[in-house]
Amino acid sequence: MTYVRETGECMMNAATTGLAAGMALGFAGYFGGFWAFLLVLVLGTAGLIAGLVLQGDLDLRTRRRR
């Protein structure tokens, strides 16, 4: 499910994003086995982190200083 902000940009909510990710992992596990499931999980996590950094919601410089 999506909604449109006042600025006109379209946003997906967290439940829809989680559903899509879960379905992708389920298909990978069913059709490709454990290693395909693990590969999709790792690459999905890397994509999520990269997207959050590019969007500005995650600042890795503050995490490195700890």
| pLDDT tens digit sequence for 8-62 | 666 667 777 888 889 999 999 999 999 999 999 998 888 888 888 887 888 888 8
What is the rounded distance in angstroms from the CA atom of residue 44 to the CA atom of residue 48? Answer: 6
Model pLDDT, residue 17: 83
Q: DSSP class of residue 12?
A: E
Give bridge partners of residue 12 from the DSSP assignment: 2
pTM for the model: 0.68
CA angle 5/7/8 to nearest 5° reads 70
Residue 31 pLDDT: 95
- Residues 3, 12 contacting (CB under 8 angstroms): no
Residue 4 to residue 50: CA distance in whole angstroms: 23
